[in-house]
């Protein structure tokens, strides 16, 4: 089962489905505007994500990655193979280039946890800080939030008061910084600069665990 939120804005209805996928229970988010969909962090279970698209008659326009740790990228290949429209259209995979090295090493990183993932495609389209993405008229801004991973980004949907924070910010916690290429002080800097400056009522949809709000984390998160 998936849960989700639905919000209306000037550009129309945005529906966000949340699917918890894989052994590390990554939150994969499906953004839907009409019959157009973007999938954020298809970490595992690509077939199940594709089925959720098919159920809603939606076609996959792009895959956006918050970062390239193996638990966030293991479902990309199966999603691309099983997507409703089949192998005809090219679906871009967007990633900040500072995480290319993590993407290339994702299979080996999973193996260190004794897990096996399908090799993700490594020909990505580069995301940059401040880049405005678009889905069916809804604008989404990429916020470079390095620290947990060097190319980590959050996706802010201002007109719907939602931010997808990946593994930078969780309800009551922040991302791990004991991993290769992680940087603790940089993570706290990123969160303070790019996330805590958003309005308090902004709904936070993190890469693991339950949703929260910027205000709740500003006042109650013991790591900040």
Instruction: Report in angstroms how near the CB of residue 59 gets to Zn ion at its nearest.
Output: 27
153: left (phi over 0), alpha (psi -120 to 50) or beta: beta
Instruction: Report in angstroms how near the CB of residue 34 gets to Zn ion at its nearest.
Output: 30
Between CA 24 and CA 165 the distance in angstroms is 17
71 touches Zn ion (CB under 5 A): yes
Instruction: Report in angstroms how near the CB of residue 72 gets to Zn ion at its nearest.
Output: 6
Binding range to Zn ion, per CB under 5 A, among 31-39, 50-58, 115-123, 162-170: 162-170
167 touches Zn ion (CB under 5 A): yes
Decide whether 20 or 161 has the Cβ nearer to Zn ion: 20
- Provide long-range contacts, Cβ within 8 A and 24+ apart, for 81-89: 81/46, 82/46, 82/47, 82/50, 82/51, 83/50, 83/53, 83/59, 84/50, 84/53, 84/54, 84/57, 84/58, 84/59, 84/60, 85/59, 85/60, 89/59
Instruction: Report in angstroms how near the CB of residue 157 gets to Zn ion at its nearest.
Output: 21
Binding footprint of Zn ion, residue count (CB under 5 A): 4
H-run or E-run covering 115: none
69 touches Zn ion (CB under 5 A): yes
41 touches Zn ion (CB under 5 A): no
Binding site for Zn ion (CB under 5 A): 69, 71, 167, 207
């Amino acid at each position: 089962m998936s849960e989700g939120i639905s919000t209306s804005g000037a550009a129309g209805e945005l529906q966000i489905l949340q699917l918890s996928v894989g052994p590390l229970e990554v939150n994969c988010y499906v953004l839907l505007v009409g019959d157009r969909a973007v999938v954020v962090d298809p970490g595992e279970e690509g077939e199940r994500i594709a089925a959720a698209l098919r159920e809603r008659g939606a076609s996959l326009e792009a895959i956006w990655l918050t970062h390239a740790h193996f638990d966030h990228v293991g479902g990309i290949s199966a999603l691309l193979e099983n997507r409703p429209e089949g192998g005809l259209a090219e679906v871009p995979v967007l990633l900040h280039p500072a995480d290319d090295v993590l993407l290339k090493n994702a299979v080996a990183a999973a193996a260190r946890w004794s897990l096996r993932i399908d090799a993700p495609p490594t020909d990505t389209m580069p995301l940059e800080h401040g880049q405005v993405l678009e889905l069916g008229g809804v604008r989404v801004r990429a916020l470079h939030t390095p620290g947990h991973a060097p190319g980590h980004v959050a996706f802010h949907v201002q007109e719907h008061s939602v931010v997808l924070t990946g593994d930078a910010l969780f309800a009551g916690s922040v991302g791990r910084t004991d991993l290769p290429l992680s940087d603790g002080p940089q993570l706290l800097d990123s969160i303070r600069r790019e996330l805590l400056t958003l309005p308090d009522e902004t709904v936070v949809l993190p890469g693991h665990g339950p949703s929260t709000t910027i205000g709740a984390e500003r006042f109650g998160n013991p790591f900040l």
